[in-house]
């Protein structure tokens, strides 16, 4: 069965053309939203050329203005199969500088994409500052093709539309302009165009059995598409529904809307008030960190007995994760010199190196700064059956970037919600997240800093920046408490590791990872 927006469902071979849509719930007594767009104006060629020419030139000017202002733009073009998506996309790009845009045609996922959450591939495709990305079909088509199936389709729609709202809000909160178009044609018009394509030697390959299967169930798909549109139509990412009965009218309407919105944004460019860096360090009445008992320890004998046994269990569980295609993220955060590196080394020592990677996270590069802050971390999320260990992570936004003034107050405050949404989406895909904060006291850190300075083999571990950060210990402590309070969720809780004694810290960390894996099984 094909999906409403023209991509075939992987279950095509299981559904005969004469079968009713297995998850359809038509409401014929309700006036359809899309029915309002069944008919649309028809524009003759002379009028079309007269009206489109100034818009085409203006679009190029506005693209250059967006480039100079560092404004990223996303244009989503969705619609029924044969509604003119390719035609409209082609008309738009003819008057854009090809050095400043990408066109993404969202078809069936690759093998690598199938092993990751739905939105992973689209996070990788969003534009950098100053660039345009046009999606000729997008996450909407793919959600419908890949996720919304079976008797529980209504619940699936709600889950994925929520994820899409989060995704789109994160993009627009970061300053991106997002415009979404749905091109509508009637069932009769669709049939006419598909027949014309079948008789066209150059285009006959574009019409498949799956397309005709879907066409027969056109009426049953209408309420599902309207649910998608209704649940994701927001002020920050509105839908524009356009009649595609006449392609000249359709193209002109898309141009007018796009140019109009870009001109509105251009008037605001440079007028935004510069936000003041503000870490907002108000002392907390209750501190999670102050309640941690750092006296917990292990003897060397206990450690030498426990560690090999636990590493053997990690070895075994790692293969089970791979076999069952469960992805796992392990996040390590903590004070400088808390022992993250040594703990990670003991954790992964017996893992199969082809099934895990350690992702060290430092300051973002110039390229990474041109994207929303979570963009670079999506690159490292593991595929199904694999493990990624993050040595520091996206929590840098609410820790070092907040304390050192590398982001605005608005940016680090909204990051709590954005991080929770990303982690929730990953877990909903079937993955697991384990997050550790390695806790030591101020005196222990000072002692370890001095040891590193005096050991030629460890001097590379200590920098002037580490010493400078010590001067802001109290501010970091407030930031850590806020982080734990705002991002320890049911699906991705934090575990604080008492790390004054490194032997205890390593054993407890591995035990927690094993417990988390057992829960995933």
Query: So where are the chain's domains?
Result: 33-268, 289-520
Asked which of 34-38, 85-89, 499-503 is least confident by mean pLDDT, the reply is 34-38
> What letter does residue 130 receive in the DSSP assignment?
T
The C-alpha atoms of residue 348 and residue 463 are separated, in whole angstroms, by 26
Which DSSP string corresponds to 443-480?
A: HHHHHHHHHHHH-TTTGGG--HHHHHHHTTHHHHHHHH
Are 251 and 39 contacting, i.e. CB atoms less than 8 angstroms apart? no
Are 319 and 423 contacting, i.e. CB atoms less than 8 angstroms apart? no
The 10s digit of each residue's pLDDT in 385-400 is 999 999 999 999 999 9
pTM score: 0.85
Which DSSP string corresponds to 280-325?
A: --PPPSS-TGGG--TT----HHHHHHHHHHHHHHHHHHHHHHHHTT
Determine the distance from the C-alpha atom of residue 92 to the mean position of all C-alpha atoms in its chain, rounded to a whole number: 26
Residue 279 scores a pLDDT above 70:
no
Chain length of the chain? 521
Please provide the CATH number assigned to the domain covering 33-268: 3.40.50.300
The C-alpha atoms of residue 503 and residue 501 are separated, in whole angstroms, by 6
Other beta carbons less than 10 A from residue 513's beta carbon: 23
pLDDT at 37: 86
Tell me phi and psi for residue 104, to 5 degrees.
-115, 115
Domains 33-268 and 289-520 share a fold: yes
> Spelled out in words, what is the top-level CATH class assigned to the domain 289-520?
alpha beta
Query: Confidence class of residue 181 from pLDDT cuts 50, 70 and 90?
Result: very high
Tell me phi and psi for residue 217, to 5 degrees.
-110, 25
The C-alpha atoms of residue 9 and residue 15 are separated, in whole angstroms, by 10
Q: What is the 3-state secondary structure (H, E, C) of 151-206?
A: CCHHHHHHHHHHHHHHHHHHHHHCCCEEEEEEEECCHHHHHHHHHHHHCCCCCHHH
The percent of residues above 70 in pLDDT, for the chain, comes to: 90
290: which residues sit within 8 A by CB, 6+ positions away?
none
The 10s digit of each residue's pLDDT in 100-131 is 999 999 888 888 888 999 999 999 999 999 99
pLDDT: which is higher, 513 or 220: 513
The C-alpha atoms of residue 276 and residue 258 are separated, in whole angstroms, by 32
């Amino acid at each position: 069965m094909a999906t409403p927006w023209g991509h075939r469902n992987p279950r095509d071979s299981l559904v005969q053309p004469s079968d009713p849509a297995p998850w359809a719930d038509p409401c014929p007594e309700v006036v359809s939203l899309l029915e309002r767009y069944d008919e649309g104006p028809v524009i003759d060629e002379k009028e079309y050329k007269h009206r489109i020419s100034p818009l085409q030139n203006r679009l190029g000017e506005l693209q250059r203005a967006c480039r100079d202002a560092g404004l990223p733009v996303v244009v989503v073009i969705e619609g029924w199969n044969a509604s003119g998506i390719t035609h409209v996309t082609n008309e738009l790009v003819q008057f854009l500088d090809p050095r400043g845009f990408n066109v993404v045609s969202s078809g069936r996922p690759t093998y690598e994409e199938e092993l990751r959450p739905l939105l992973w591939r689209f996070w990788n495709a969003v534009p950098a500052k100053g660039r345009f990305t046009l999606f000729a079909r997008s996450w909407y088509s793919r959600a419908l093709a890949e996720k919304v199936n079976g008797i529980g389709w209504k619940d699936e729609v709600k889950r994925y539309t929520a994820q899409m709202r989060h995704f789109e809000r994160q993009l627009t909160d970061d300053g991106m302009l997002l415009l979404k178009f749905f091109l509508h044609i009637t069932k009769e018009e669709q049939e006419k165009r598909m027949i014309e394509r079948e008789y066209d030697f150059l285009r006959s390959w574009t019409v498949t059995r799956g397309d005709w299967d879907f066409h027969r169930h056109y009426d049953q798909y209408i309420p599902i598409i309207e649910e998608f549109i209704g649940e994701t139509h927001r002020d920050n990412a509105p839908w524009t529904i356009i009649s595609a009965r006449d392609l000249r009218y359709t193209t002109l309407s898309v141009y007018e809307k796009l140019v109009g919105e870009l001109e509105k944004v251009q008037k605001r460019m440079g007028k935004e008030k510069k936000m003041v860096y503000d870490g907002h360090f108000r002392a907390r009445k209750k501190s999670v960190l102050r309640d941690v008992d750092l006296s917990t320890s292990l003897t060397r004998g206990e450690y030498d007995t426990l560690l090999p046994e636990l590493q053997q269990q990690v070895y075994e569980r790692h293969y089970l994760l791979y076999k069952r295609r469960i992805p796992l993220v392990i996040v390590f955060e903590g004070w400088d010199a808390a022992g993250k590196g040594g703990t990670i080394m003991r954790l992964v020592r017996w893992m199969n190196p082809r099934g895990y990677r350690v992702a060290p996270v430092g300051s973002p590069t110039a390229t990474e700064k041109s994207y929303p802050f979570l963009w670079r971390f999506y690159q490292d999320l593991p595929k199904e059956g694999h493990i990624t260990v993050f040595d520091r992570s996206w929590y840098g936004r609410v820790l070092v970037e907040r304390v050192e003034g590398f982001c605005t107050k608005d940016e680090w405050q909204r990051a709590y919600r954005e991080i929770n949404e990303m982690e929730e989406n990953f877990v909903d895909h079937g993955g697991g997240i384990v997050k550790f904060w390695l806790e030591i006291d101020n005196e222990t850190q000072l002692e370890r800093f001095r040891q590193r300075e005096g050991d030629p083999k460890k001097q590379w571990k200590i920098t002037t920046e580490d010493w400078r950060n010590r001067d802001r210990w109290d501010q970091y402590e407030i930031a850590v408490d806020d982080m734990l309070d705002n991002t320890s969720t049911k699906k991705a809780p934090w575990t604080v590791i008492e790390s004054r004694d490194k032997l205890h810290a390593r054993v407890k960390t591995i035990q927690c990872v094993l417990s988390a894996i057992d829960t995933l099984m």
